[in-house]
Amino acid sequence: KQRGKLRQLDMITQLVPEGVSISYVRQAAPKGLGDAILCARHLVGEEPFAVLLADDVIRSTRPCVAQLIEVYQRTSGSVLAVEAVPVEKTSSYGIVSLDSQRRVSSIVEKPAPQLAPSNLGVIGRYLLTPRIFDFLAGLQPGAGGEIQLTDAIAELLLVETVTASAFEGQRYDCGSQAGWLQATLDYALLRPE
């Protein structure tokens, strides 16, 4: 501040908007996405909550989570962001089948293409009700020996409406080097310098 670097100071202070606090929890062992979410149960409490997987970057004027919240406000049930994926890639995603109202009727983690119920893959944005925690707490390890969020959602959809939502925006798969590089370039090109 004394050196007059006010623009830089602004950038830092605006990282955390007013009224927002950040808490961290560590997952003690790499036991899967479901286990990681369960680690945050005491922070979430009895509220609906969003899960954002950082390796899926979504560029959109309306944030993807805001789009999911809109659906939640209509359905009062959990909402998953989905996107059509190439058939040969079904084994990288949770794959859903839907009824005519886009309610999820089944979900399976990383099926081989010949076993996949569709080519609609779950992208790393979820709006979940706290009911999911009881199902997560009761799970045995699933695909890859991990506690899978997908397996808990498969149980959740028997007791509440789970909706699959398409979303506006471009997704970058930053879990792959090519996707990460593409995201880096596209975001860089948005900057005048």
Q: Two tokens at 90?
A: 């079904």
**120 sits near ligand G1P (criterion: CB under 6 A):** no
**77 sits near ligand G1P (criterion: CB under 6 A):** no
Which segment (4-12, 13-21, 58-66, 122-130) binds ligand G1P by CB under 6 A? 122-130
Residue that is written with structure tokens 């699959």 in the block: 164
**121 sits near ligand G1P (criterion: CB under 6 A):** yes
Q: Which of 30, 27, 57 is nearest to 39 (CA)?
A: 27
Question: Which run of H or of E encompasses 123?
Answer: strand 120-128
Residues of this chain, 167-186, that bind ligand G1P according to CB under 6 A: 175
Residue that is written with structure tokens 């990282």 in the block: 15
DSSP calls for 75-104: H-S-EEEEEE--GGGGGGSEEEEE-TTSBE
Nearest-angstrom CA–CA distance, 28 and 4: 43
Q: Two tokens at 55?
A: 């390796």
Identify which of residues 17 and 145 has a Cβ nearer to ligand G1P in the complex.
Answer: 145
- The residue at minimum Cβ distance from ligand G1P is 94
**50 sits near ligand G1P (criterion: CB under 6 A):** no
**56 sits near ligand G1P (criterion: CB under 6 A):** yes
**109 sits near ligand G1P (criterion: CB under 6 A):** yes
Residue 109 CB, nearest approach to ligand G1P (Å) = 5
Residues that bind ligand G1P (CB under 6 A): 33, 53, 56, 93-94, 109, 121-124, 149-150, 175
